[in-house]
Amino acid sequence: MILDWNPDRVLVSLGPVSIYWYGLLFVAGFLLGYWIMTWICKRENYPTGELDSLLIYLFIGTIVGARLGHVFFYEPQYFLAQPIEILKIWKGGLASHGGAIGLLLSFAFFIYMHPRNNVLWLMDRLCIPTALTAVFIRCGNFMNSEIVGIPTGSDYGVIFRQAHEFNSVPCHPVQLYEAAAYLVVFLILFAGYLFNRNKKAGRPLGIFLTLVFTARMILEVFKQSQTTLDNAINGIISSFVAFPFQVSMGMLLSIPFVIVGIVMIVIAKNEKVPPLSDEDLRAFGMEPARAKEENGAAGNDSGKAGDSGADYSDIISPDTITLDTKKSGASVSGDGMIHDGKVVQDPRDLDPDRFNG
């Protein structure tokens, strides 16, 4: 089957303002990702007040990083000769590797400005909507007829009429291949979150990096060369080893991300999320759960874990909060803790096997 593809890049024009398919899909992906992240935070009783700031940081960081990545990784000579073209992002030209770097840097800046947030907790959950956002971005690339695949040499493929090369022969719709791959990654991460709750801190992020950039490396084989540097890269590599395919800049840039991802999966440990700050939990009208020091002094004969000075910080997490009976009106004697929808009076009950041995 052959698809003759020649879409109008502009969805609608309102006077001097034009809305492009690419821009619409890009923004839609971010907004859907924001909604998913909000849902995750509410599900785990994690404050959502700072998500607006995080979205702005990530949005700007991703766009700036992706654009500069394309400028310096793929077409430095063209853009350095015409720097004004760097600003015309509606024409396309956003590099995913640059976007990933920009996203990480903007996230680091967000953590610097809001240090009370748990880094791995956020990153393990942010990678879930990020994978879905990447699906929308690749669909935008398809609408822009960019990142076009090599000719299929058969009666299968897409004729990209607006492409610079091979615009009259069927080519691989590699944008859709990538979109499908990222959708699978999203489903894997989301299913893992729902059914396993991703107890090992750093593992979801490691899975994301490994799968996304491994898929990127594989699919680079089906892409047309996107930079003149590819020839130089292949000339250097061929002097050491011969590959049955062309090695691209995209492949080389993906290798560090895959390595980091594999390392994170290997060294991932059981998640130990520290309690949220008092300020965070009071935003919900609740007080943070804490092992009270007086338990050790007043309960010497009670047999509670507090007598031994046990540290509960590894089991009291964002979904373990103190129930303020005065504010909630709940019929619970004293201060209890809500954990997985149940009221717990004593921290021992959160992990009975640990304290009953």
Q: How confident is the model over 189-217, as pLDDT tens digits? A: 999 998 876 578 889 999 999 999 999 99
CA angle 290, 37, 39 (to 5 degrees): 75
At 329 the three-state DSSP class reads coil
Asked if residues 319 and 82 have their Cβ atoms less than 8 Å apart, the reply is no
d(CA 166, CA 163): 7
Instruction: State the CB neighbour count (10 A cutoff) for residue 4.
Output: 10
Q: Nearest-CA neighbor of 324 among 303, 307, 343, 352?
A: 343
Q: What is the dihedral of CA 149, 11, 3, 219, to 10 degrees?
A: 20
User: pTM surpassing 0.85?
Assistant: no
In the chain, which residues have pLDDT < 70?
90-92, 197-198, 227-230, 270-357
The b/e string for 245-267 (b: 16+ C-beta within 10 A; e otherwise) is ebbbbbbbbbeebbeebeebbee
C-alpha dist (Å) from residue 134 to 84, 154, 175: 27, 29, 11
Asked if residues 73 and 95 have their Cβ atoms less than 8 Å apart, the reply is yes
Name the maximum alpha-carbon separation found in the chain. Answer: 85
Q: Which residue has the tokens 């007086």?
A: 294
Asked if residues 101 and 61 have their Cβ atoms less than 8 Å apart, the reply is no
Using left for φ > 0, alpha for ψ between -120 and 50, and beta otherwise, residue 145 falls in left
Residue 188 confidence (pLDDT): 95
Q: Nearest-CA neighbor of 310 among 354, 267, 266?
A: 354
Residue 111 confidence (pLDDT): 87
d(CA 304, CA 243): 65
Asked if residues 148 and 163 have their Cβ atoms less than 8 Å apart, the reply is yes
C-alpha dist (Å) from residue 300 to 303, 308, 336, 344: 7, 9, 20, 21
Residue 235 belongs to what H/E stretch? helix 229-238
d(CA 27, CA 174): 22
Residue 240 confidence (pLDDT): 75
Residue 278 confidence (pLDDT): 57
d(CA 325, CA 163): 65
d(CA 80, CA 153): 36
Paired strand residues for 342: 339
Asked if residues 234 and 246 have their Cβ atoms less than 8 Å apart, the reply is yes
282 burial level (CB within 10 Å; 0-12, 13-18, 19+): middle
At 14 the three-state DSSP class reads strand
d(CA 90, CA 14): 16
pLDDT tens-digit series, residues 76-115: 888 888 888 888 876 667 788 888 899 889 988 988 888 8
